[in-house]
Structure 1
């Protein structure tokens, strides 16, 4: 039996910078080992450790600087000519170089120098999660660059845009072009079918200098309202061709470059950058298209379908990124609680703070487990588009992961600010930025209402329940340790409730189904997460007899699926006091403690 060598001493750290985020949260490594293909994890682990150090040191320090010196837009030059120049602080340029040169995108599209094959997108998503410990804003263009590359890889079957794909997946920052997604219009918002941007074939168009055929060159006219990474060269945008059907069925997808092949700015106007609450490092603005060159991608009637590839990827990255925010908020809270004294003792020694930190740790591991499960099945489907089970699972899990983790990130950042006290409310402390950045996570790529309705479609149209329910059963069937018996029984009971809820919603009218959609999404998250945590606990017990993950699973179930009318006050249970060092500081734990 091999248990942990001892708890992590967070009191030895001054704050959540100048450290290695991968090393300080062993739950990250254990979760990656669970979901990665085995050969890829063995290759990836040392690289994730190296990237954790890069993010925890240089990128984290630079991100604090960039938050005070965000991008600036110069729409016209001094002679009044269109320029569309976005100026970045040198710290932002260094962060981009450190991120892209690490291979976090390139390795998933082209074989790394020491491998015969690329790794999966799961690796990119894990690295983006670590990046979000430092800067959600920086992770946004990284995510869109990978997402745009994925769309072109999947849907540009004729290879018209291979040069864009090569740029989006370049291994060197010097050769890289960045991606973007111009989706939102002011009158439409989440209603993408209301897109009014018009695309007309360019008159007398000759083949573009970059090899694009003349019949794929269009001119776009309209406005895009919320355009992040506004100056991306690999921008994807939706527009409607003349006489195309209404709604999403009539939308076509276009590559809209920042610069034309001859080096001139494309004929679009970056009107202004948004004065945002957070994510300062990514330039988000308004764009006016006026006879703007766009290159048609694939079948002109399938543009929205193509864009959903990127949209689903962005939702997964939103979820894994939210986990990064929760992880940084938790780390800052652990460090402060270990160092801050009140009434003669570190505040981490007081029962209320111990319960708070256990709650935060368990929430972190719950969000981590569910979002990485969604990422795993997304990655499975991208490896094999004939994998129907993977598709159904990603359709059920991805919208729920994005829905739940975005709100969890806000709650974690807010409470981390409270733990810091007045300092947490001050701009010089990172909790201030974490909360500002986290606030966008429920908004990006679809609000909770939109995501919950998408979940209903996944069950109604794609029969996602046919893969989801057996997945839960499979995880619960792994559980056999006596210390987990009572918790497993509770989860099985709630799994039956989930099945009954799915049947009720399926047989109800549309109004009632929509009314209950968010409740269904939350119940699904709780049941699936509990099953995963229990299976992880069983594997850890089998591996080395350590019940630390069993305590995590037990407390998650106690606080989400099995609270009584007395809020647990009358049961005499105080797991956070008995298991604090194991859960929060990663010490080992005897199974008898959890069983009791």
Structure 2
């Protein structure tokens, strides 16, 4: 062969080796995940979960990944059919067959079915995290929405409504399972749900007739819709909203709704999102109508915020795996690129971002497990109120940055859809940032909670204890940063103008301390030190050694 042909083939061989380096069992090779579960779960739950997680992880690699690569392509996206051949309204959404192949794997794992039993948050978080190695993949959002409605029905609905709607949601057979969606957003309000104008007119039989519009309807093909609507005579704002479950079909026909169109989104394209008109759609309340907003946020949206943080963390894990393996196999300027200090610095940061998020979201998962089981005390509930909003904000921001860094390691190849999963993850991660409340909305909610509830005292106590228990220089530094963050938070609570302008910066500081504290608690000293180091800190030999050690990690 000519020498340049040898060079071409060698380079292509390196790329093939990189592709083959992705773990076929992503659960077994994820030491931090397995360590977290070993410390958090009793032996019987861990023993039951591990073989399921291993099998599902392999199925994500072998089945979901190639399917998603096809149905996420622009030529194979969902399509809306308004009428059938006879001119009858059907409002059906058609998917590529591979979409359903992947769905059978996801539903068959039990990810959604665990919702039938209280206190299975660790199982669900583990499975969603493994699925999220492929991004949203068209099924993470439907699964999370179904889990949210199932929880709401189990925890808030009357026995009659629960028994009617819950069983179909918790089946493991994808062909017969019913999927759920949640339609809160309206065009005039967006995140300002208190501005919603869709109305719910009561009927004599206990049902309601819904009339209005919903602007962002993800999982538009679902069999059950969770919808917020304003009850006549109720107060203005969020207090006047009821929470309802609405079946897609009644007597085999669309239940008083029409889809205007499907959204062409930047990311999460395999899952159908649309706009919906409601004209007398029949729905039933999920719990007392006067508690509707409490149910929608306290159960449904909080479930989605927790699981969005989990999914974002799975994407960070994938970004690290892609970039670190590529750097080991790609050669440039006469060396493997993971030998270059600038690349090693990126790999170290990716590893720290992923592991910090992982420990944070599993601390949140522990709270979710207790709250769903009904065993959380008041302090745990207050800490959960803070962490569910703060973790969703922090992890979704970090995921976009981590995937962007992964693309940087791959260079121009990282921008090619067919070359790696990273472009799809990048698009998905940006969508994740807006799901279940934009960053500013979540930050404002956290600040409002601090002002009216003793949340900050609980945050100070929990994170302070973790920092003190570390007994290291990093622990002392984290405690100093925590004290500074608490002081800033108190000023934001007392001064409305200061809080509106600067609390987001304060929350960033507190969430950095939170990740550091949980890393220290897990014995991840190097990662904690690296995360704690200020971005503009003068580089020194200790930082260089830490980067090298982190870049060589798994």
Q: 2:8 maps to what in 1?
A: none
Aligned to 2:83: 76
> CA contact under 8 A between 2:115 and 2:147: conserved in structure 1?
no
Match of residue 453, structure 2, among 433, 456, 462: 462
Change (3 A) 1:443 1:577: closer
Please tell me whether the aligned partners of residues 378 and 390 of structure 1 are also in contact (alpha carbons under 8 angstroms).
no
Match of 1:90 among 88, 97, 106: 97
Query: Which residue is 1:126 aligned to?
Result: 126
- Structure-to-structure mapping, 1:344-493, within 5 angstroms: 344-384=334-374, 387-429=377-419, 430-480=421-471, 485-493=472-480
Q: Do 2:146 and 2:180's aligned partners in 1 also have CA atoms closer than 8 Å?
A: yes
Aligned match of 1:151: 152
Does the 8 Å contact 2:153/2:161 carry over to 1? no
C-alpha contact 1:224 1:287 (8 A) present in aligned 2: yes
Q: Matched residues in 1 for 2:313 and 2:424: separation?
A: 15
**Displacement after TM superposition at 1:584 (Å):** 4.0
SS at match of 1:253: strand
TM-score normalised to the size of structure 1? Answer: 0.86
Matches within 5 A, 1:137-216: 137-202=138-203, 214-215=205-206
- Cα distance change, pair 563–290 in 1 and its aligned pair in 2 (3 A): closer
Aligned residue in 2 for 1:585: 553
1:577 Cα deviation (Å)?
4.8
1:46 to 48, 51, 54: 51
TM-score, normalised by the number of residues in structure 2: 0.92
**Is the contact between residue 119 and residue 372 of structure 2 (CA under 8 Å) also seen in structure 1?**
no
DSSP-derived class of the 2:345 partner: helix
For 2:402 and 2:312, locate their aligned partners in 1 and report how far apart those are by CA, in whole Å. Answer: 10
More helix by share: 2
Verify the 8 A CA contact 1:330 1:360 in the aligned structure 2. Answer: yes
Q: 1:35 and 1:319 mapped to 2: Cα distance?
A: 19
Question: Match for residue 542 of structure 1?
Answer: none
Partner residue in 2 for 1:104: 111
Cα distance, 1:13 vs structure 2 = 4.4
1:85 Cα shift?
0.6
Which residue of structure 2 aligns with residue 551 of structure 1? 526
In 2, the alpha carbon distance for the partners of 1:196 and 1:57 equals: 46
CA–CA separation in structure 2 for the residues paired with 1:577 and 1:413: 19
Residue in 2 aligned with 1:573?
543
Give 2:501's match in structure 1, choosing from 509, 515, 519: 515
C-alpha displacement at 1:201, in angstroms? Answer: 2.3
CA distance in 2, matches of 1:227, 1:62: 24
Query: 1:11, 1:335 within 8 Å by CA — same for their partners in 2?
Result: no
**CA contact 1:271–1:285 (8 Å) conserved in 2:** yes
| Deviation at residue 335 of structure 1 after TM alignment | 1.6
Match for residue 285 of structure 2?
Answer: 296
- Does residue 536 of structure 1 match 2:536? no
Aligned position for 2:6? none
SS in 2 for 1:57: helix
Q: How many residues align?
A: 536
Are the counterparts in 2 of residues 18 and 57 from structure 1 also a CA contact under 8 Å? no
Q: 2:57 & 2:30 partners in 1: Cα distance?
A: 10
**Alpha-carbon distance in structure 1 between the residues aligned to 2:541 and 2:328:** 29
Q: Residues of 1 paired with 2:500 and 2:547: CA distance?
A: 41
The change in CA–CA distance for 1:64 and 1:15 in structure 2 (over 3 A counts) is farther
- Once superposed, what is the RMSD of the aligned Cα atoms? 2.1
- In the alignment, the residues of structure 2 paired with residue 77 and residue 438 of structure 1 have an alpha-carbon distance, to the nearest angstrom, of 36
Structure 2: distance between partners of 1:221 and 1:373: 41
Task: Specify whether residues 142 and 421 from structure 1 end up closer, same or farther in structure 2 by C-alpha distance, changes over 3 A only.
Answer: same
CA contact (8 A) 2:305 2:388 kept: yes
- Judged with a 3 Å threshold, the aligned counterparts in structure 2 of structure 1 residues 156 and 221 are, in CA distance, closer, same or farther, namely same
SS in 1 for 2:370: helix
Contact 1:491–1:557 (CA under 8 A) maintained in structure 2: yes
The residue aligned with 1:589 is none
Contact 2:106 2:139 survives alignment (8 Å): no
| 2:239 pairs with 1:271 | no
Whole-angstrom CA distance in 2 between matches of 1:169 and 1:43: 18
1:72 deviates by 1.0
Contact 1:20 / 1:49 at 8 angstroms: preserved in 2? Answer: yes
The structure 1 segments of at least 4 consecutive aligned residues displaced by more than 4 Å after TM superposition are 9-13, 15-18
What is the alpha-carbon distance in structure 2 between the residues aligned to residue 468 and residue 574 of structure 1? 33
Alpha carbons of 1:380 and 1:331: their partners in 2 closer, same or farther (altered >3 Å)?
Answer: same
1:95/1:563 CA distance change after superposition, 3 Å: closer
Structure 2 CA distance, aligned partners of 1:414 and 1:386? Answer: 38
Give SS of 1:307's match: helix
Structure 1 residues 250 and 550: alpha-carbon distance in aligned structure 2, compared to 1, 3 A threshold? same
Which of 323-332 and 510-519 deviates more? 510-519
CA distance in structure 2 between the partners assigned to 1:198 and 1:335 by the alignment: 53
Q: Which of residues 198, 201, 208 is equivalent to 1:218? A: 208
Distance 1:237 1:251 in 2: 10
- Secondary structure of 2:434 counterpart: coil
3-state secondary structure, aligned to 1:285: strand
**CA distance 1:34–1:556, shift in 2 (3 Å):** farther
Contact kept? 1:355, 1:576, Cα under 8 Å: no
Query: C-alpha distance in 2, partners of 1:380/1:446?
Result: 24
Task: Give the 3 Å change call, closer, same or farther, for CA 190–15 of structure 1 in structure 2.
Answer: farther
- State whether residues 17 and 57 of structure 1, in contact with CA within 8 Å, keep that contact through their aligned partners in structure 2: no
- Alignment partner of 1:255 out of 245, 261, 274: 245
| Contact 1:15-1:336 within 8 A present in 2 as well | no
Gaps of 5+ in 1: 1-8, 111-117, 206-213, 538-548, 587-596
CA deviation vs aligned residue, 1:22-46 (integer Å, no higher than 9, x gap): 2333222223333434542233223
